[in-house]
């Protein structure tokens, strides 16, 4: 009887310890928030190059949706006059990129499905994309590869919120 009581005490203690362990965080809840791109590491046959990102950008993940807006290039866009020319409008619009849709994150991959985008081909095809990611403290790193598998872009985001 005493032996049974000791076993029972240990069993209750073990169950209690397991019950009070923090729940595992799913990949999706871990990426929820607002992120900004801080640098991109490009690797190809020519080597590796790190580009610091200085233009405005945001990547937002909610529970099931995402939105991404960014300005590409190294130079800030010029302010537009009150009545811009078509050329000025194109120069301001061309480096701007935006898309939004749904996503899921599991097993170290983020899969996105575009619903709306600046680039019409992305929405016409309901483009889906799945890329590996990892979290490193307040940094999120997503790794994109070109179709030929010869170039990778490791995009590092910093958590804003």
pLDDT tens digits for range 80-102: 999 999 999 999 999 999 999 99
Contact 117, 99 (CB under 8 A): yes
Q: What is the pLDDT of residue 123?
A: 85
Q: Where are the beta strands (DSSP E) in the chain?
A: 33-44, 47-52, 57-61, 65-71, 96-106, 109-117, 128-136, 139-145, 152-159
Q: What is the pLDDT of residue 99?
A: 95
What single-letter DSSP state applies at residue 62? -
Calpha distance 144→138 (Å, rounded): 20
What single-letter DSSP state applies at residue 53? -
Mean pLDDT of 1-22: 36
Which residues are within 8 A (CB) of 100 and not within 5 positions of it... i.e. 6 or more apart?
65, 66, 67, 68, 114, 115, 116, 117
pLDDT tens digits for range 99-143: 999 999 999 999 999 999 999 888 887 778 999 999 999 999 999
At residue 140, φ and ψ (nearest 5 deg) are -115, 130
State the pLDDT confidence band at 24, using cuts at 50, 70 and 90: very low
Mean pLDDT of 9-34: 52
- Strand-strand pairing, 109-117 and 96-106: antiparallel
**Neighbour count for residue 110 (Cβ, 10 Å):** 20
Q: What is the pLDDT of residue 26?
A: 58
- More confidently predicted of 3 and 69: 69
Q: What is the pLDDT of residue 74?
A: 85
First to last CA, the chain: 56
Q: Mean pLDDT of all residues in the chain? A: 84
Mean pLDDT of 143-149: 93
pTM, full prediction: 0.78
């Amino acid at each position: 009887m005493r032996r049974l009581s000791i076993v029972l005490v240990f069993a209750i203690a073990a169950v209690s310890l397991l019950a009070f362990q923090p729940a595992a965080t799913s990949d999706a809840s871990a990426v929820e928030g607002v992120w900004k791109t801080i640098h991109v590491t490009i690797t190809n046959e020519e080597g590796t190059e790190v580009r610091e990102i200085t233009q405005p950008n945001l990547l937002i993940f909610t529970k099931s949706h995402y939105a991404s807006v960014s300005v590409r290039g190294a130079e800030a866009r010029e302010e537009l006059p009150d009545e811009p020319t078509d050329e000025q409008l194109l120069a301001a619009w061309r480096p701007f990129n935006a898309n939004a849709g749904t996503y899921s994150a599991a097993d170290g991959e983020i899969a996105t499905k575009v619903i709306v985008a600046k680039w019409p081909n992305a929405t016409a095809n309901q483009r889906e994309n799945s890329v590996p990611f990892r979290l490193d403290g307040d940094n999120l790193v997503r790794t994109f590869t070109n179709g030929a598998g010869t170039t990778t872009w490791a995009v590092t985001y910093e958590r804003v919120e």
